[in-house]
Amino acid sequence: MSVELPVFDISKPLNESSLTSLQDACKEWGFFYVTSHGISGDMYQKLRRFSGGIFGLRDEDKIKMGASNYTPRFIASPFFESLRVSGPDFYASAKSSIDAFSDQPTDEEFSELMKEYGEKMTELCEKIMKAILSSFGEDLHHKYYKSEFGNCHGYFRINNYTIPLEQDHQEDDVDLLEGLGMHTDMSCITIVDQDDIGGLQVRTRDGIGLMDINPKDEALVVNVGDLLHAWTNGRLRSSQHRVVLKRHSFVENRFSLAFFWCFEDQKVVFAPDEVVGGGERGRVFRSFKCGDYLRFRESNEKGKFEKVGHTVEDFARTEDRN
Domains recognised in the chain with CATH numbers = 7-316 (2.60.120.330)
CB-based burial label for 73 (10 Å; 0-12, 13-18, 19+): middle
- According to DSSP, the residues that pair with 177 across neighbouring strands are 245
End-to-end C-alpha distance for the chain, whole angstroms: 28
In this prediction the pTM is 0.92
So what's the pLDDT on residue 167? 44
Q: What is the pLDDT of residue 170?
A: 53
**Residue whose C-alpha is closest to residue 240's, from 219, 257, 224:** 224
Residue 296 near residue 315 (C-beta atoms within 8 A): yes
Based on its alpha-carbon atoms, the radius of gyration of the chain, rounded to whole angstroms, reads 20
Q: How far is residue 248's CA from residue 153's CA, in Å, rounded to a whole number?
A: 37
Strand locations in 114-252 (E):
153-162, 176-183, 189-194, 200-203, 210-212, 220-224, 241-246
Is 306 exposed, middle or buried (CB count within 10 Å of its CB: 0-12, 13-18, 19+)?
Answer: middle
Per-position pLDDT tens, the chain of length 322: 899 999 999 998 889 999 999 999 999 999 999 999 999 999 999 999 999 999 999 999 999 999 889 999 988 889 999 999 999 999 999 999 988 877 665 688 999 999 999 999 999 999 999 999 999 987 888 899 999 999 999 999 999 998 876 545 554 445 788 899 999 999 999 999 999 888 999 999 988 899 999 999 999 999 999 999 999 999 999 999 999 998 764 568 899 999 999 999 999 999 999 899 766 678 999 999 999 999 888 754 444 455 556 789 989 998 654 4
Q: What is the DSSP letter of 149?
A: I
Q: What is the C-alpha separation between 84 and 93, in angstroms, rounded?
A: 8
Phi, psi of 148 (to 5 degrees): -95, -35
CB of 157 closer than 8 Å to CB of 257: yes
Give the integer Cα–Cα distance in Å for 55 and 158: 10
- Is residue 265 within 8 Å of 289, Cβ to Cβ? yes
DSSP string, 256-316: EEEEEEE--TTPEE---HHHH-SSSS---B--EEHHHHHHHHS--STTPPPPTT--HHHHH
- The pLDDT value recorded for residue 163 is 82
